[in-house]
Amino acid sequence: MSLQRFRIKQQKPNYFLALIIFILAIFGLIMIYSASVVISYQEFGYNYYYLNKQALSLFIGIIAFIIASKIDYRFWQKNSFWIFLVSVVLLAAVFIPGIGRELGGSSRWIHIGSLFFQPSEIVKLTFIFYLAAWLSKKSEFIANFIKGFIPFVIVTSIVGVLIMNEPDMGTTLVIAAIGVAIFFSGGGALNQIWLGIGSAIGIFWLLIKSLWCF
């Protein structure tokens, strides 16, 4: 395999964007510490248990960010389908006993040994990779109802149904919003987008009504 296909990008980093991300991450750590200091002491005997866990996750995220920023974007485009497929498999794995972990009545976590994470957070990123790559390849069919809109709805619905079954309506709405924004940016027909939004609102309304009734 040619190294040229995965050549390192040499463009200047966007330091302002990196600074904004860093500030938001630090703010998040402060909020986590403020919200968890009491329960951390009650359950583990010291104030910084949850803060330390999130700080470790932040450190791992920074390392992953640096590595990902050094990889040519065409690598992600070329492998977007398989990366997305793996994340969807992980999303379904939360329902497998022994792998999925239920907390607070929701099955949103995968727990294998010391590894503990939410696949839905990974899907938010891989969904963007996949949709962007798919839309760039199928740009001539995007406005077509059968070849453009229907495949988009199917993919988005698969992800949405899996996340709704956790249940996690907030993340489902985020995924739907991401999908609509990318589909519209990629040249999707406005009437199809409104049809999709109207259908999604109707489905959410029925789900909320059914949950309320029970």
pLDDT at position 184, please?
A: 84
Whole-angstrom distance, CA of residue 197 vs CA of residue 201: 6
pLDDT at position 105, please?
A: 63
Pair 55, 136 in one domain: no
pLDDT at position 3, please?
A: 44
Domain boundary among the residues 35, 54, 71 is at: 71
pLDDT at position 187, please?
A: 81
Q: Which secondary structure element, helix H or strand E, spans residue 196, and what is its range?
A: helix 190-213
Pair 104, 67 in one domain: no
When divided into structural domains, the chain yields a total of 2
Average pLDDT, the chain: 80
Whole-angstrom distance, CA of residue 76 vs CA of residue 127: 12
Domain boundary among the residues 71, 106, 129 is at: 71
Pair 195, 95 in one domain: yes
Q: What is the pLDDT of residues 145-188, one digit of tens each?
A: 888 888 888 888 888 888 887 777 788 888 888 888 888 888 87
Pair 67, 81 in one domain: no
Pair 95, 38 in one domain: no
- pLDDT < 70 stretches in the chain: 1-13, 102-106, 113-115, 207-214
Pair 142, 160 in one domain: yes
pLDDT at position 205, please?
A: 75
Domain ranges, residue 17: 1-71
Residue 65 has which token pair? Answer: 């960010």
Pair 87, 28 in one domain: no
Pair 12, 104 in one domain: no
Pair 66, 96 in one domain: no
Three-state SS annotation for 41-59: HHHHCCCCHHHHHHHHHHH
